[in-house]
């Protein structure tokens, strides 16, 4: 029986406003973890949605560059494409260009997945990186302070694609996943690891995601077809940051909060 999860979804008028909310969430969770434990561990996704968030975080005229305790942040990836770091498809490469090269984050605190290696070897090495950097013992599972996810129009998240082997993996922390629908391999955290995080957030924008998002949150449970339904954090809470277009097919978010730089509507669901 799947655990009960309370989904909170915050709906912003534009993708830009959603990206700003996502950057603020990133900054506040890093600051909170550092204040509590002296260190913050965050896992980020690839794809297009994080680009605007990275740019906001690295903006010299913005509110984040000078305030985020970058030297106490340890940065990990949720997934990676099987390409080298200089390949335009590289999730690490995009983050390096838009964020890492612009913020004072120590290189030894950046844990990239080695997409250039054999996928199985890269997955095994990254599992060791997680175990060593977090000093995990035995069956201990990593607990990120924040895991930031995206969602594809096919309902995938991380590199957990529909009808792929990684959906059945519950023992390992990281796997190589053959994605036949893209005729490629990916390296991805497994869903039990994501669900162990202190906070999990989906950051989604665009009308192209409205139908699948409504299916994932309000439709029947079909995890093989909609892998994002596997994301049910063990603390029973799941946050979605959305723009109006992506939220268009969800039950109306009724609570409205207006702040100096815009408004957001908030809704919640039990899944
Ligand atoms: C990746 C991602 C993937 C992404 C979704 C959404 O490597 O592609 O980690 O899971 O989050 O595909 O991608 P967009 O943000 O481009 O819509």
Pocket of ligand 1 contains residue 109 by CB under 6 Å: no
State pLDDT tens for residues 52-81: 999 999 999 999 999 999 999 999 999 999
Residue nearest to atom 3 of ligand 1 (CA): 158
- Would the pTM of this model clear 0.85, i.e. be above it? yes
Decide if pLDDT at 255 tops 90.
no
pLDDT for 222 equals: 97
Percent share of the chain, pLDDT over 70: 99
Q: In angstroms, rounded to a whole number, what is the distance separating the alpha carbons of residues 70 and 127?
A: 24
Mean pLDDT of 199-210: 98
Pocket of ligand 1 contains residue 78 by CB under 6 Å: yes
Cα of 236 vs its chain's centroid, Å: 17
Distance 106 CA to ligand 1 centre (A): 25
Dihedral sign of CA atoms 228, 233, 237, 242 in order: negative
Task: Give residue 257's pLDDT band: very low, low, confident or very high (50, 70, 90).
Answer: confident
pLDDT for 1 equals: 60
- Listed residue (127, 133, 241) closest to 187, CA to CA: 127
Residue nearest to atom 7 of ligand 1 (CA): 46
Q: In angstroms, rounded to a whole number, what is the distance separating the alpha carbons of residues 46 and 77?
A: 8
pLDDT for 3 equals: 73
Q: In angstroms, rounded to a whole number, what is the distance separating the alpha carbons of residues 102 and 19?
A: 18
Q: In angstroms, rounded to a whole number, what is the distance separating the alpha carbons of residues 232 and 4?
A: 8
Decide if pLDDT at 230 tops 70.
yes
Distance 48 CA to ligand 1 centre (A): 7
Percent share of the chain, pLDDT over 90: 93
Q: In angstroms, rounded to a whole number, what is the distance separating the alpha carbons of residues 18 and 14?
A: 6
Pocket of ligand 1 contains residue 177 by CB under 6 Å: no
pLDDT for 262 equals: 77
Please state the atom number of ligand 1 nearest to the C-alpha of residue 150: 11
Decide if pLDDT at 168 tops 90.
yes
pLDDT for 162 equals: 98
Pocket of ligand 1 contains residue 246 by CB under 6 Å: no
Contact yes or no for 92/115 (Cβ under 8 A): yes
Q: In angstroms, rounded to a whole number, what is the distance separating the alpha carbons of residues 164 and 220?
A: 19
State pLDDT tens for residues 101-154: 999 999 999 999 999 999 999 999 999 999 999 999 988 999 999 999 999 999
Mean pLDDT of 9-22: 96
Mean pLDDT of 83-93: 98
């Amino acid at each position: 029986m799947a655990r009960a999860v309370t989904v909170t979804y915050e709906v912003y008028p534009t993708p830009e406003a959603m990206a700003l909310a996502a950057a603020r969430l990133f900054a506040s969770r890093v600051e909170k973890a550092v204040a509590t434990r002296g260190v913050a561990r965050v896992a980020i996704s690839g794809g297009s949605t994080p680009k605007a968030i990275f740019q906001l975080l690295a903006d010299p005229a913005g509110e984040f560059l000078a305030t985020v305790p970058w030297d106490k942040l340890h940065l990990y990836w949720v997934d990676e494409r099987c390409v080298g770091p200089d390949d335009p498809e590289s999730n690490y490469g995009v983050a390096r260009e838009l964020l890492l090269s612009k913020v004072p984050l120590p290189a030894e605190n950046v844990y990239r997945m080695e997409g250039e290696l054999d996928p199985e070897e890269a997955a095994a090495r990254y599992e060791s990186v997680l175990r060593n950097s977090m000093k995990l013992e035995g069956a201990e599972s990593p607990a990120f302070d924040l895991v930031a996810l995206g969602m594809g129009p096919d309902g995938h998240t991380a590199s957990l694609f529909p009808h792929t082997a990684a959906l059945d993996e519950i023992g390992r922390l990281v796997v190589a996943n053959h994605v036949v629908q893209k005729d490629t391999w990916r390296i991805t955290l497994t869903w039990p690891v994501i669900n162990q995080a202190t906070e999990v957030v989906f950051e989604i924008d665009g009308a192209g995601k409205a139908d699948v998002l409504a299916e994932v949150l309000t439709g029947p449970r079909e995890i093989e077809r909609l892998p994002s339904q596997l994301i049910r954090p063990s603390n029973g809470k799941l946050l979605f940051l959305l723009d109006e277009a992506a939220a268009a097919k969800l039950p109306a978010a009724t609570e409205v909060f207006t702040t100096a730089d815009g408004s957001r509507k908030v809704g919640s669901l039990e899944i």
